[in-house]
Amino acid sequence: MSDKLQKVLANAGVGSRREMERWIEAGRISVNGKLATLGDRVEPADKIRVDGNPLNTQNDSPICRVLMYNKPEGELCSRKDPEGRATVFDRLPAIKNGRWIAVGRLDINTSGLLLFTNDGELANRLMHPKHEVEREYSVRVFGEVEDKMLKRLTDGVKLEDGMAKFTNIVKKPSDEESTNSWYNVSLSEGRNREVRRLWESQGVQVSRLIRVRYGELELQKRLPQGGWIELTLPDLNGLRKSVQLPAETNTLIKVEPGKLDHVKLSRMRRSVKKHRVKQANKKRS
């Protein structure tokens, strides 16, 4: 039985399918000594190398893990930055098999819920438009917002990369000046800067943007910015079920953590503060 090369790489935890397609195009993958090309299929006995290093596809699949991370503004959704800026991968825990894969991206000026997993197939399905996994954002906009504008945003607006729309818009109570309004908006895809571009198409600017939900998973309100928690099996399998993947039966969490208690929060906040001080000193040097 053969499978697409990018699927095999994703299942091995190397990266998401989209990322693996880019690696194949960049000439970083070889199969049986020959550079791979998009569309290649592989058999279980084929010898795959990534950047010259052999990939062992014979081992059992690693336990599926998912992290919830509260991204602060100012962090990049990339593994490394040539300018030495902070990235969302800097404080993630070490992982033995595979590596952490970001489920989608948030731009540098957006904060909130960001998921990481070691399961490339799960990451791919959660990001793929056909599964229509809903994302919800809390957004502050600057400018006058009219009912007609909101109707256009839910009916559909033509952007440079095609039609886009919000599936739902709810205005939030706010004590700020009338020129600033808070809304919760939802959409079922994750194109680049889509929330900002939708509002900008109506002549208003986004001044704050926070992702608060991915699928049925909501950002834990007590989770500090820069902090992460690992999902328990019920939450993890809720994500897997939403994209038609079988349930995971094993977990590396020794005790079901439940809600964040005072001790855990204090420890997490100290760790985040220490990391920020380290980044600040790095910038000065």
66-128+217-284 and 134-214: same fold? yes
Within 8 A by CB and 6+ apart from 96, the residues are 62
Architecture per CATH, domain 66-128+217-284, reads as 2-Layer Sandwich (3.30)
For the chain, give the percent of residues with pLDDT over 70.
90
- Which CATH code, of 3.40.50.2020, 3.30.470.20, 3.40.80.10, 3.30.2350.10, is assigned to 134-214? 3.30.2350.10
**Residue 116 CA: distances (Å) to CA of 15, 110, 134, 268:** 11, 17, 17, 18
Q: Tokens 């902090």 label which residue? A: 227
Q: Nearest-5° angle of CA 134, CA 139, CA 144?
A: 125
Tell me, yes or no, if 107 is annotated catalytic. yes
Which of 81, 107, 155, 261 is catalytic? The answer is 107
Average pLDDT, the chain: 87
Residue ranges of domains in the chain: 3-55, 66-128+217-284, 134-214
pLDDT tier at 10 (50, 70, 90 boundaries)? confident
What is the mean predicted confidence (pLDDT) over 66-76?
A: 95
Minimal CA–CA distance to 88: which of 114, 120, 122, 126?
114
Q: From the centroid of its chain, how far is CA 194?
A: 15
What's the confidence (pLDDT) of residue 73? 95
What is the mean predicted confidence (pLDDT) over 46-68?
A: 83
Q: Exposed (0-12), middle (13-18) or buried (19+): which is 105, by Cβ within 10 Å?
A: middle
Per-residue pLDDT of 177-230, as tens digits, reads 567 899 999 999 888 899 999 999 999 999 999 999 999 999 998 899 999 999
Per-residue pLDDT of 231-266, as tens digits, reads 999 999 999 999 999 999 888 776 555 556 666 777
Superfamily of domain 3-55: RNA-binding S4 domain (3.10.290.10)
